[in-house]
Structure 1
Amino acid sequence: MDMNAYLSMFIDESNDHLQSLNENLLRLESDPEELSIVQSIFRSAHTLKGMSATMGFEDLAALTHEMENVLDLVRNSKLKMDSFIFDTLFKGLDALEAMVQDIVAGGTGKADVTSIVASLQVILKSDYSASKAAQAPAATAGNAGAAPSNASGAMQLDEFQSSILQQSIESGHNVYHVQVTIRDNCLLKAVRAYMVFDLLERNGEVIKSDPSVQDIEQEKFDFSFSVFTISSLTQEELQGQISNISEIEAVVVTVLDVESLAILSNPSAANAVETSKATSETAVRAEAVREVEAGKGQTAAAAAPAVQAAPANVSRTIRVDIERLDMLMNLFSELLIDRVRLEQLSSEIKRTDLTETVEHMARVSSDLQSIVLKLRMVPVDSVFNRFPRMIRDLAKSLDKKIDLVITGADTELDRTVIDEIGDPLVHLLRNSVDHGIETVEERLAAGKPETGTIYLRAFHSGNHVFIEVEEDGRGINHERVLKTAIKNGVVTEEQAKQLTPDEVNMLIFAAGFSTADKISDISGRGVGLDVVKSKITSLGGNVTIDSAFGRGTKFSVQLPLTLSIISAMLIKLGSEKYAIPLSSIVETGIIRKEQILHVHGNKMIKFRNAIIPLVSLSRVLESPDFNENEEQETEIVVVRKGEKWAAVMVDEFIGQSEIVLKSLGTYLTNIEAISGATILGDGYVALIIDPSALIK
């Protein structure tokens, strides 16, 4: 049987199961005693394992099987969940997602997951399971490293770390004890240590370090440290690569077997050897049983369709390839252009029967347009559902306590917008976690609950969707922002004195702007919120900030419902026709020459108790056959970009119309005021004006 025919279905369903596993594991972490959640997790893992085995992705099936064995003990009350188990299962999920992505990219779904499998097998050991069923331990994989070194120079390992290393040795993997000495004249020894750890983690996994990772990061060590690590590198490769790091004085890499591991980590060497032998025999027997069970499971799965009748009305939904929806939208776009053309011809011919037919066609096509647009609408949940796991991992890495509250996840947006909005939201949420929410100590000192809260909301308003990211953290320090902006040349000291609080808030969207004190994986990397603003602007939206120092910050993102068909105001400029999106228009009007003000060489007009710039569209577009200076009165369109307004001079208003956006590709890329084109009812092409490019 050719399995390639089922590959796209396998990928879609695998992603669904992985998302379900992530969500339910997060729920279980909040309520570890709720066995119904464990049942849901087990079912998803079991289904994923069967699908993977059927498709021939053995590595995917094998890892899922190991995770399933742990979950089976939990659901049968033979094992209690703890932080070590949760962290191991989450690492397993990350590996499964990476395998599926490799399959999407045309790979085989293979990956080196030996360290994760070793951790899962340690959890499955009878002594671990028995102890965890009796009590929930305080020690975890993350804090177990706090145990002090003993006097003899050996590094004390706890029971679980020792078991992981033993399992890895028995499986034939490279296990090393690495001692590193940094030069005593090194000024940034924590940075050099970080480079060593980064090298080790890119090529394997660090099981234990002495001193602890936290102490090393805070430079609470002399000039040497040691680690136990599982690595894909040979002894010579590891020795050479660490030695090549700047300011490393000496490196000693020791290859470990079971006996040397016991001597280094535990004085009871003989007991450790006996334990490892018993564990090895148990692992062999367990593997044999798993192979038999896997064979039975596949046989049963293959036989099931022949004997089980599908119940009526199992599902009233079908999966449709997104390319087909795009094709449907393109065909409807052509239909819309022809409809507008027919309406224009009908008004010219003035035949009653033709007019009635065209009107009926307009009503039907309007209904069809509504259906086509709804088909392309996707709940923002498809983007939001990855954020709880991200917030959990970030909070753990920064040692903060954070709750993420999501509302309005069923709000729908056009697929093209959904595809683009994910990365900006990731930036905003990471900013909220790092810059916004304080540490537990800071929150308690400020009289706040130790757990910070981030709210992620989505809701409709008119023809727009609003997405808000709000947290109850530090808020924006205006004084600090202004100092940084002046230092970076974003504003001058004179300009800074005239800025309103809202304008100061918006300074954090300047390119490369960051108030981070140190570079980290989360912030201070020179890639700031300017990425967010530029992406949202390119989608036809805008973002605003509301902040109160000491109380929190709210980012509000406004997005159009769809980017395919929009309402626009058609205008003339000389002999050419243009379209301006209605979503950017505040109002239209007429001004006389004497109403135009000249401020520092720029044309301005009074509008709603404010002075706003007057933009010459003919100059921007270099239109040769229209000169606004010759006109005594000129029509204007007042457009808005965030909180900034501008009046655009035009020749004549044609009227409102629904238009289909068409990309210009590489044409007119040197004119920033043009965002696309549309075909009008008379068959002519009208360029679409980008109002945000006209407002500086």
Structure 2
Amino acid sequence: MDTSQYLDVFIDESTEHVEDLYNYLLELEKNPTETNLIEEIFRAAHTLKGMSATMGFQDVANLTHKLENVFDGIRYERIKIDATIMDVIFQAVDNLNAMIEDIAAGGDGKGDVSTIVANLEKIENGEVVTKENDAAATVEGTVETDTTTSNLDEFELSILEESRDRGFHNYEVTVQLREDCLLKGARVFMVFEVLEKLGEVIKSTPPVTDLEEENFDYSFTVLFVSQSSKEEIQKSIEKVSEIEHVTINLFSVEAYKQQLIDQEEQSSVLTFEEKKEKTEDKSDKAPKAKSKKPTSKTIRVNIERLDILMNLFEELVIDRGRLEQIASELNNNDLQETVERMTRVSGDLQNIILTMRMVPIDQVFNRFPRMIRQLARDLQKEVDIEIIGAETELDRTVIDEIGDPLVHLIRNAIDHGIETPDVRKQKGKPTQGTIKLQAYHSGNHVFIEISDDGAGINKEKVLKKALENGVITESTANNLTNQQIYELIMESGFSTADSVSDISGRGVGLDVVKNTIESLGGNITINAEENQGSIFSVQLPLTLSIMSVLLVELSDETYAIPLSSIIETAIIQKSQIMHAHNKKVIDFRGNIVPLTFLNEVFETEQTIADQDYISVVIVRKGDKMTALVVDSFIGQQEVVLKSLGNYLSNTFAISGATILGDGQVALIIDSNVLVK
């Protein structure tokens, strides 16, 4: 039987079942006697086994069958769950996930899972699983795990891309120690010391902890970012004694990306749920058990079709604006009534299309619990995660971009924020730390907050490091508010970590987070209290395609300012302008707000020189404000954001353009970069 026509459906449903397995296992770890969870896991494994056997992916079916046997033993109390058993089960699901990703990438889903199968059989037979057998098997068809580049996540790739764009070189450095080397850990430390003087270490294989404990043979590999040449790096490393040879190669992000095809991009489908009961399948698939979530039928739509639909509607919005202007100029009642009705109908259509593109942020959040579990174990910390508002929806384009910054913020919270159990006990805190991930709507924005009850942020340490790195001067440091001090950690190259680790402390990261969020039209703020915890708050627009703007005039040209960043518009007398720190400022409701003359920013002719009054638009970024000086206000309008293309991608203070009703092109001002 030809099953190729069902491959996309198999990949999508298998991915959902694996995701369910991860979530159920995380819950089971907290409540090992919860019979409902055990039943759900057993049924998910049974369904996945049947699907993969039908499609001919025998290795997936075999591994799932062993997993099913273990949970059959657990539900009939022949097997008692402990930490070692949970580790083996998680590794089994990791292997299943890797095999399904391989199938999605065009592979055959085969893998050498003999080790994990042997461990599952030992559990099934009541034997003890030792640490030697506790390693996950490598899946054939995926990238090999004996190099640094095998397990790079998307955020680490974005760091490498950012470094490359800033003129740095990305290197893969492999160091081979001599076999008569006695103090391998000391040699590794000396090599890292050399590298840190020349650049930043992004990743190491084996991990830093294994290198420090000498849990490796005689070679190790690091991904390294530097402006130095290969020859300079090689000579510096070779000065360390007991080194056999050093191999340095340029690391290509593009070449690496070609090897990895993201699971979500491969499926290229979006699921729309209709609240209908799913009929029981009488085939090999077992019926779904009763659960808290209602079952649903799904319609899978290729995301490219939604993008095309959105582009066509954007053209309709432009033509709608043109019709509104023509109707206003002709002053024909019938035409105006028709255009008004068209405006209402197209507004409803716009809401439906935008809703279709909305996906719950749970698609991003659902990978964090297992990531936190693994990081906490690696760092020997106890960490729980609390997720609130996972059903909050965002435009798919925003969802695609926000995952990696959130990953880094959570890593940062675990590594820098949450203390070890001993330290927490000394401080009178529970030994288990908590990371709270919360999402909610507010107006036309979505807010995502990552908070922890850890060590908070040491202001003195941040200030000291900022002064050492030349990020601020002594005079500036004395005038900073607490929040401004906290936000220094998002400056480029800033890190307060005492040592480089695989998780954070490289000085490359939070600045990329900030840049990514601001490129989406959002912003990030930080609040913290030492020994109480910290809160990173991310504000994002609901959608990036259609926005409400204020049209303003500047030297006979029309510009657009997004309403989301505007606090107020005002007309003020020139006599109200004051001077502070060699800048022109105004008093806005008790706050000193600097003036930004847009004619100077965009180098246009000044037309307000002889006027007694000036028009200003007060805009905000976080808790900072500025007043943009314009010639006049035109009015509010809904516009379509259009990219300026590759040739004009770096235009200062311009985020894009739009086409107005009269066919004129108006540039959209990026007010974020104008707020100092």
Measure, in 1, the Cα distance between the counterparts of 2:316 and 2:185.
69
1:533 to 509, 514, 518: 514
Superposition pairs of residues 439-518 of structure 1, within 5 angstroms: 439-518=420-499
Greater relative contact order structure (CA < 8 Å, 6+ sep): 2
- 1:348 aligned onto 2:329: yes
Q: Is the CA contact (8 Å cut-off) linking 1:182 and 1:247 kept in structure 2?
A: no
Query: Letter of the aligned partner of 2:559 in structure 1?
Result: Y
Max radius of gyration: which structure? 1
> Partner of 1:320: helix, strand, or coil?
strand
Give the percent of matched residue pairs that are identical in Structure 1 and Structure 2. 55
Please state whether the residue corresponding to 1:318 is helix, strand or coil.
strand
d(CA) in 2 for partners of 1:398, 1:493: 36
Q: CA deviation at 1:183?
A: 3.0
Q: Is the 8 A contact 1:469 1:555 kept in 2?
A: yes
1:40 aligns with 2:19: no
Q: Which residue of 1 aligns with 2:50?
A: 50
Say which of 669, 672, 676 aligns to 1:692. Answer: 672
In structure 2, the residue corresponding to 1:400 is in which secondary structure? coil
Q: Which residue does the alignment assign to 2:72? A: 72
- With the length of structure 2 as denominator, give the TM-score of the two structures: 0.77
Given that 1:119 and 1:164 are in contact with CA atoms closer than 8 Å, whether structure 2 keeps it comes out as no
CA, structure 1 residues 585+249, in 2 after alignment: closer, same or farther (shift >3 Å)?
closer
- Is the CA contact 2:549–2:562 (under 8 Å) kept in the aligned structure 1? yes
Instruction: Give deviations 1:335-366, integer Å, cap 9, x for gaps.
Output: 22222211111111222222211111111111
Superposition pairs for residues 416-431 of structure 1, below 5 Å?
Answer: 416-431=397-412
Query: 1:49: Cα distance to partner?
Result: 2.1
Q: For residues 14 and 480 of structure 1, do their structure 2 counterparts lie closer, same or farther at Cα, with a shift above 3 Å needed?
A: same
The code of the aligned residue for 2:668 comes to: I
AA aligned to 1:188 is A
- Mark the CA change 1:182 to 1:471 in structure 2 (over 3 Å): closer, same or farther: farther
Q: CA offsets, 1:42-76, max 9 Å, x none?
A: 21112222222322333322322232222222223
CA contact (8 A) 1:432 1:471 kept: yes
Q: Deviations over 1:147-188 (max 9, x none)?
A: xxxxxxxxxx8xx78x999xxxxxxxxxxxxxx976346671
Cα 1:25–1:489 change in 2 (3 A) is same
**Aligned position for 1:123:** 123
| 1:215-245 C-alpha deviation (Å, 9 max, x unpaired) | x7775xxxx8899xxxxxxxxxxxxxxxx9x
- Verify: 1:28 aligned to 2:28, yes or no: yes
Say if 2:541 is the partner of 1:560: yes
Tell me the residue number matched to 2:577.
596
What residue in structure 2 maps to residue 60 of structure 1?
60
- Whether contact under 8 Å (1:541, 1:560) holds in the other structure is yes
The CA deviation string for residues 425-453 of structure 1, in whole angstroms up to 9 with x for no partner, is 11111111111111111011001111111
**What SS class does the counterpart of residue 561 from structure 2 fall into?**
strand
1:183 aligns with 2:181: yes
Gap change, CA 1:302 and 1:572, over 3 Å in 2:
closer
Deviations 1:66-97 (A, max 9, x none): 32222222223222222222111111222222
**Residue equivalent to 1:6:** 6
- Report the Cα offset of residue 106 of structure 1: 2.6
Confirm or deny: 8 A CA contact 2:454 2:531 kept in the other structure: yes
CA contact (8 A) 1:592 1:632 kept: yes
Matched ranges for 1:354-433 at <5 A:
354-433=335-414
Does residue 82 of structure 1 match 2:63?
no
Could you tell me how far 1:320 is from its partner in structure 2? Answer: 1.8
Q: 1:632 to 1:47 in 2, by over 3 A?
A: same
CA distance in 2, matches of 1:35, 1:302: 24
Deviates more, 1:472-481 or 1:107-116: 107-116
Match of 2:266 in 1: none
Contact 1:118 1:164 in 2 (8 A): no
Residue 640 of structure 1 corresponds to 620
Most deviating of 538-547 and 28-37:
28-37
Distance 2:296 2:25 in 1: 27
DSSP-derived class of the 2:603 partner: coil
Q: Is the 8 A contact 2:49 2:61 kept in 1?
A: yes
Q: Deviations over 1:599-645 (max 9, x none)?
A: 45433333232332221212222324x44434433211111111221
Conserved? CA contact 1:183–1:247, under 8 Å: no
Q: Distance in 2 between matches of 1:217 and 1:442?
A: 25
Deviation string 1:379-425 (CA, Å, 9 cap, x unpaired) is 11111111111111111111111111111111111111111111111
8 Å CA contact 2:91–2:136 kept in 1: the answer is no
Helix, strand or coil for the counterpart of 2:341? helix
The structural deviation recorded for 1:593 is 3.2
Which structure 1 segments of 5+ residues have no match?
A: 132-139, 145-156, 166-179, 195-200, 207-212, 228-243, 251-300
**What stretches of structure 2 of length at least 5 have no aligned partner?**
138-177, 193-203, 218-237, 245-279, 288-293
Matched with 1:304 is 283
Partner of 2:553 in structure 1?
572
Per the alignment, residue 591 of structure 2 pairs with 610
One-letter code aligned to 2:57: F
How far off is 1:104 after superposition? 2.5
Kindly indicate whether the alpha-carbon contact (under 8 Å) linking 2:559 and 2:666 is maintained by their aligned counterparts in 1: yes
Change in 2 beyond 3 A, CA 1:670/1:24: closer
The Cα shift of 1:314 comes to 8.3
CA drift of 1:534 comes to: 1.0
The answer (yes or no) to whether the contact 2:451–2:536 under 8 Å persists in 1 is yes
Task: For 2:635, give the aligned amino acid.
Answer: G
Q: Distance in 2 between matches of 1:663 and 1:431?
A: 33
Partners of 1:303 and 1:643 lie apart in 2 by 59
Aligned AA (1:304): S
- Conserved 8 A contact 1:181-1:225: no
User: Which residues of 2 match residues 232-251 of structure 1 at below 5 A?
Assistant: none
Q: Among residues 643, 646, 649, which one is paired with 1:669 in the alignment?
A: 649
The residue aligned with 2:101 is 101
Provide Cα deviations, 1:217-275, integer angstroms capped at 9, x if missing partner: 775xxxx8899xxxxxxxxxxxxxxxx9x87799xxxxxxxxxxxxxxxxxxxxxxxxx
**Superposition deviation, residue 479 in structure 1:** 0.7
Is 2:79–2:126's contact at 8 Å kept on the other side of the alignment? no
Would the alpha carbon gap of residues 305 and 545 (structure 1) be closer, same or farther in structure 2, given more than 3 Å must change? closer
2:24 is matched by which residue type in structure 1?
Answer: N
Letter in 2 for 1:660: V
Matched, 1:678 2:676: no
**Amino acid in structure 1 at the alignment position of 2:181:** R
Q: Which amino acid aligns with 2:40?
A: S
Q: Give the whole-Å Cα distance in 2 for the aligned partners of 1:664 and 1:192.
A: 48
